[in-house]
Amino acid sequence: MAITLEDLIRIARGEDEADLVLKNARVVNVFSGDIHVTNIAIASTRIAGLGDYRGKVEIDLDGAYVCPGFIDGHVHIESSMLRVPEFARAVLPHGTTSVVIDPHEIANVLGFDGIRYMLESSKRNPFSVYVMVPSCVPATDMETSGARILPSDLALLLKENWVQGVGEMMNYPGVLFREPSVMAKVRAGAGKRIDGHAPGLSGRDLAAYIAAGVGSDHECTRVEEAKEKLRMGMYIMIREGSTARNLRDLLPLVTPATARRCMFVTDDRHPLELLEEGHLDSIIRTAIASGLDPITAIQMATLNPAEYFGLLDRGGIRPGWRADLVVFDNFMDFRILKVLRGGQIVAERGRFVGTLSPHNPAIVRSSMNVHPPSISFAVPARGNRMRVIGLVPGQIVTQQLVMEPKVDGELVVADTERDVLKIAVVERHQATGNVGLGFVHGFGLKRGALASSVAHDSHNIILVGTNDADMKVALERMVEMRGGLVAVQDGEVKAQLPLPIAGLMSDRPLEEVGGAFRELLHAAADMGSALRDPFTALSFLALPVIPALKLTDRGLVDVTQFRFVPLFV
């Protein structure tokens, strides 16, 4: 129940008892940059004051540290493969009490209905969900998506409560060349935050992009790139996700002079990593172990994103602000002991103890419109040199390689000795029958095939394999499951994870999803892959806004030139 302003003032003055007092807390003060021992008085959902207070309930923290609840400033919940309530259950024990989501994954599949599904799913859950409306659905016209978000849709959604602005503007060429629909979306977001997505953009083009109103970027991989964007006034989101891991490379950017313009984000984290490593707490832990000042690290996960997104009632421990608090043991181990959200304990010692909403939004329609018998993965040989996608470990950028094909009869086939595998993208939204075919280096599979309906950003079905037969079985199972992840060897399904919600999310609990994902990773390893997470790596190979060579259902894309290129050189 919300407290009246009069009652809050009364409790802050010590005239009435607080509902809860956390005694003997070492408060990590992100405003003053120091740590001081005091008591924290909480009235309903708010912090009433710091100091000598009486409470109806008093908890002695015995010198444990207390900091503000963590805020993830850029995350795609769909990439966790969990429904919003299960995602809350996953991250709250790790101290994350607020998230700013960009639901462009489900928007690319279901459009306006998908965004509405995420908004409804976010209500009445034990953490705060703010939304950045997807700006690029589809991300480009070089792939077939399930929907389009028009400027009029975006303008309508921007009026919603909990919507903070416009999500990552991936179509930076559309900004630079003033495409009318992109300009309409930029104008719709005027006065609100517009997040950026501009890997490698520099010089005058970067200036033009920022002049359009874009305020942040989470795609920096080098300090030099991040420094240029910072100097032009951007906020730098330092990402540490399941595939794109930029934390260690970008930490030298963070100094006492620059720290207030930097924040930590996860972007995409899979369920097993949430279970085994954590969320923002793991980023803070790693940053501190790498030499970053502990208070600065916490500030980058609390006050900085709160100020950037205009979340004016959180991000610090201050009278009148929300009592979203994290209690932890020390800065070296950074074990989370308790998490309070709105003054209520929702997690203790790694275990969720809050209450999830029983509210169930409407079931979304199926989006798996594929007829497997009509799909062929055959690649006729048409030359002696072919373009090959080269994986870059730990990054979502790729290389454009040129290699000699292995030919069997008149067809190009996978070459496991050189680690050159066949890759395919099958359109699943509009039953077009489109199939993009190519080859990829770096997966390491010696046998079998992997498939996923999580394939950024249009989320068509993406497959990689050593032979066409296993790829066909994987496709058939994908359609039967209404989407998901699958590993096939010798015609047998070795592991699978059904994702019936838009082909992106499971309807099962976190532990089941994490367990199934673990089995998939084991299966991929048994089939020869040495990648830490081949499924997440696979999911980004259809994203034609990240250099250098990608594959969509319409063919190979040279992202540096933003055009289709033939397989054979």
Residue 321 three-state SS: coil
- The mean pLDDT of the chain is 95
What gap in Å lies between CA 214 and CA 195, rounded to an integer? 6
Residue 358: the pLDDT is 67
**Spatial separation of the C-alpha atoms in residues 514 and 406, rounded to whole Å:** 37
Do 50 and 38 touch, CB atoms closer than 8 A?
yes
Output the pLDDT for position 245: 86
Contact 357, 83 (CB under 8 A): no
Work out the end-to-end distance of the chain between its first and last CA atoms, rounded to an integer number of angstroms: 67
- From CA 203, how far away is CA 16, in angstroms rounded? 59
Inter-CA distances, 550 with 41, 390, 559, Å: 54, 10, 7
- Identify the pLDDT of residue 362: 62
Ramachandran region, residue 55 (left: φ > 0; alpha: ψ -120 to 50; beta: rest): beta
Mapping DSSP to helix (H, G, I), strand (E, B) and coil, where does residue 20 land? strand
- Note the CATH number of domain 68-314: 3.20.20.140
Q: Where are the domains of the chain?
A: 68-314, 372-564
- Of 551, 555, 553, 554, the C-alpha closest to 566 is 555
Virtual CA dihedral for 488, 493, 499, 503, nearest 10 degrees? 50
471 sits in the region (left: phi over 0; alpha: psi -120 to 50; else beta) called alpha
Q: 10-residue block means of pLDDT along the chain (569 residues)?
A: 91 97 98 97 97 97 98 96 95 98 95 91 91 91 91 92 93 92 94 93 97 96 96 97 88 97 94 93 97 98 98 97 98 96 96 80 80 96 97 87 96 98 97 97 97 95 98 97 97 97 94 96 96 92 91 96 94
CA separation for the pair 112, 115 (Å, rounded): 5
Q: What angle do CA 347, 351, 356 make, to 5 degrees?
A: 65
Q: What angle do CA 244, 335, 505 make, to 5 degrees?
A: 45
345, 337 contact by CB (below 8 A): no
- At 524, is the secondary structure helix, strand, or coil? helix
Positive or negative: CA dihedral 117, 121, 124, 125 = negative
Lookup: tokens for 331? 């800065």
Give me the pLDDT at residue 359, please: 62
Output the pLDDT for position 360. Answer: 64
Element (H, E) at 390: strand 386-391
Distance CA 401, CA 424 (A): 17
Say which DSSP state 79 is in.
G
Contact status, residue 451 vs residue 474, Cβ threshold 8 Å: yes
Half-sphere exposure of 237 (CA within 13 A, CB side): 29
pLDDT recorded at residue 354: 85
Q: Determine which helix (DSSP H) or strand (DSSP E) holds 515, and give its type and residue range.
A: helix 510-526
Residue 125 is predicted with a pLDDT of 87
